[in-house]
Structure 1
Amino acid sequence: MTKIKVGVIGCGSIARRRHLIEYAKNDNVDIVAVCDVVKSRAIEMAEKYGANAFEQYEEVIKLAEVDVISVCLPNNLHAPVSIAALNAGKHVLCEKPMATSREEAEKMIEAAKQNDKILMIAHNQRFVSSHQKAKQIIESGEIGKIYSFRTTFGHPGPERWSIDGRNSWFFEKEQAFIGALGDLGVHKSDLIRYLLGDVAEVSAFVETSSKEDTQVDDNAVAILKMESGVIGTLAASWSYVTSGDNSTIIYAENAVLRLEDDPGHSLIVQYKTGEVVKYQLDKIQTNDEGGQTNTHVIDHFIDSIINKKTPLITGEEGKRSLEVILAALESNETKKVVKI
């Protein structure tokens, strides 16, 4: 079979620790182009993966041999570069949050439709073993009616993760548009939608309390009301100074599900009968060294292209998860509950 030829635009941490590694491990892929405005980074990755180096993304999306583009850029560039790539006839895998507005997201979705190409958003939480198992348990009906939930994603901040450290675009309002809520919160809005269905209403407090010299948020707490009527909380933070928290707790009629809440067991089900079931599943991905397990995002994306299947996280799904975060921002500004 002819291999799918990939161009990765942006050679920062997400490309180095996720996209490039996982494309290289996929037998159906050839990485043919890498691009970064910092030329040395593009050259470094090109040499490592046997690709050609570019500084301008326009050059990469013009390449006839490129089938697929991975967009690993600051948030404000996600939509324009994705749209340009789709219009050039490429399939696109775009990092999250997919865009900085509903309008941008809609234009991305429209470009994918018009060009009959796959647009997938890189929300990896849907592929985590504990999350998939929890979805099976919920849908089986064994834990009964869902009452409430809390979902959290926090760590010390992008300083340790980003290739540019404290000088990263993550802290620049014009490039990032949004801070912890867009970096981490959108992962959890996507997860809770995956587990419990769509969100109907949002009320939120969004603050900048731990980081200095930045206008982006670093702490946010939102109350979500699902279309089913279930209520719960979503927290996103860059101020968990000792370690990360990527846990979700589901409170139901017959049991409590604890996802990624215990260091030894990815999923614990505590039944009201007193029975406790502990699952040892593949660990969730972290930004720590040694946490670089396969996210399954790339493999799923490539499989969707080869087998002409709709991916798990389409542009429409990415947009709905983004809308929760946009509603949280609006709620914080207006001090009102926002309907989606």
Structure 2
Amino acid sequence: MSKIRVAVVGCGSISKHRHIPEYVNNENVELVAFVDPVIERAQHYAEAHGGKAFADYKTMLAEVKPDAVSVCTPNYLHAEVSIAAANAGAHVLVEKPMAVTDEEAAVMIEAAQKNGVKLMVGHNQRFFPPHVKAKQILESGVLGKVLTFRTSFGHPGPDAWSIDGAASWFFRKPEAIMGAMGDLGVHKSDLIRWLLQDEVAEVAGFVGTLHKEGTEVDDNASVLLRMKSGAMGTLVASWTYYKGEDNSTILWCENGVMKIGTDENDQVIVELRNGTVEKHKVGAISTNEKQLSSGVIDAFISSIVNDTPVPIPGEEGRKSLQVIISAFESQASGQFIRMA
């Protein structure tokens, strides 16, 4: 079987740490193009892995005609590049948030359907071993119904992570549109929907800029969520966890509590009301300091090779994005926002 010819658009940190090395490690992939307005970055990867370097994605799509494209650009370009790739007949893997408006997300989904290509959103939290194990435990019924929860994602911010440091596009509102919520919060809205197999019914949010100087994008958010099941909880996203990255989730249920990512040795801990305690060592959650395989690339390529549905389609990315957008609406209006 011929290999899947993949182009990577955007050669920043997420490409450097996740997309490119994971494509390189996938035997079904041939990397054929790298695109970045800073052409030297694209040239670096083309020299290392083969393929051609481009400064412009439209030229690349016309010239290379890739089978699949990873969209790793600043947020405001996610929709534009994804739609162009789909219209060029390429399958699309887009980083989160998949778009910056619900309207953009809808057009992306439509473009993929119209062109008969796959659209997957890179919500890697669904693949982390602790989250996979937690979902299995929830589905077993041992904990009963989830009543309340808190899910959190905080780290020191893009100035510590992005390839451009403090000069990163993450801090420029016209390019990022949203800050910690688009970077981290959308991961957790996706995770809680997936873990609970439930949709968000109502949102109230405090979203603001507390400490990152010289930026208009949010660096912190604390959000209340009420699920359709009635479960209530909090979602926290922060770029100011300067000491101690947090990517943990706790679920308080009828029959006990499940702690996910709160202990580095036992990544999933179940404490039942009957006194039973189960500790599961299932593998760590990836951090900025310790990059682990995301599982996203392999799942995307597998769905193309086997012509099966992608595990995180555009429709899922859109629902997770809607939660974040509703939090911004709540902050702006001072009102609870009811989800459709």
Q: Is the 8 A contact 1:149 1:251 kept in 2?
A: yes
Output the amino acid matched with 1:323.
Q
Q: Which residue of 2 aligns with 1:33?
A: 33
Hey, what does 2:323 align to over in structure 1?
324
Equivalent-residue separation in structure 2 for 1:52 and 1:207 (angstroms): 41
Q: How far apart, CA to CA, are the structure 2 residues paired with 1:271 and 1:50?
A: 53
Counting only pairs closer than 5 Å after superposition, residues 1-340 of structure 1 correspond to structure 2 as: 1-196=1-196, 197-288=198-289, 291-340=290-339
Equivalent residue of 1:86, what SS? helix
Alpha-carbon contact 2:303-2:310 (below 8 Å) kept: yes
1:229 and 1:220 map into 2 onto residues whose CA distance is 22
Deviations 1:288-326 (A, max 9, x none): 1xx221111000000011111111110000000000000
8 Å CA contact 1:61, 1:69 repeated in 2: no
Give, in angstroms, the shift of residue 65 of structure 1.
Answer: 4.5
Letter in 1 for 2:13: S
Q: Following the alignment from structure 1 to structure 2, what is the Cα–Cα distance between the partners of residues 21 and 217?
A: 30
Aligned sequence identity (%): 54
d(CA) in 1 for partners of 2:236, 2:306: 37
Runs of 4 or more consecutive aligned structure 1 residues displaced over 6 Å after TM superposition: none
Work out the CA distance in 2 between the residues paired with 1:111 and 1:70: 16
Structure 2: distance between partners of 1:38 and 1:46 = 13
- Distance (whole Å) between structure 2 residues aligned to residue 336 and residue 63 of structure 1: 49
* AA in 1 matched with 2:215: T
Deviations along 1:100-153, one digit per CA (max 9) or x if unpaired, are: 100000000000000010000000000011111111111121111211000000
The residue type equivalent to 1:329 in the other structure is F
Q: Distance in 2 between matches of 1:62 and 1:95?
A: 22
AA aligned to 2:159 is E
**Aligned-pair distance for 1:19?**
0.2
Uncovered stretches (5+) of structure 2, i.e. residues with no partner? none
Residue identity opposite 1:280 in structure 2: K
SS at match of 1:160: helix
Q: Measure, in 2, the Cα distance between the counterparts of 1:266 and 1:145.
A: 21
Counterpart-to-counterpart distance in 2, 1:100 and 1:199? 19
What is the letter of the counterpart of residue 100 of structure 2? T
Instruction: Give the residue type in structure 2 aligned to 1:295.
Output: S
SS at match of 1:85: helix
Letter matched to residue 234 of structure 1 = L
Instruction: Kindly indicate whether the alpha-carbon contact (under 8 Å) linking 2:33 and 2:64 is maintained by their aligned counterparts in 1.
Output: no
> Residue 51 of structure 1: CA displacement?
1.9
Separation in 2, partners of 1:301, 1:193: 20
Output the amino acid matched with 2:317: G
Structure 1 unmatched ranges of 5 or more: none
Amino acid at match of 1:132: V
Q: CA RMSD in A?
A: 0.8
Amino acid at match of 2:302: D
The residue matched to 2:161 in structure 1 has which SS?
coil
| Residue 63 of structure 1, CA deviation | 3.4
Q: State the AA in 2 paired with 1:338.
A: I
Q: Report the AA paired with residue 192 of structure 2.
A: I
How far is 1:261 from its partner? 0.8
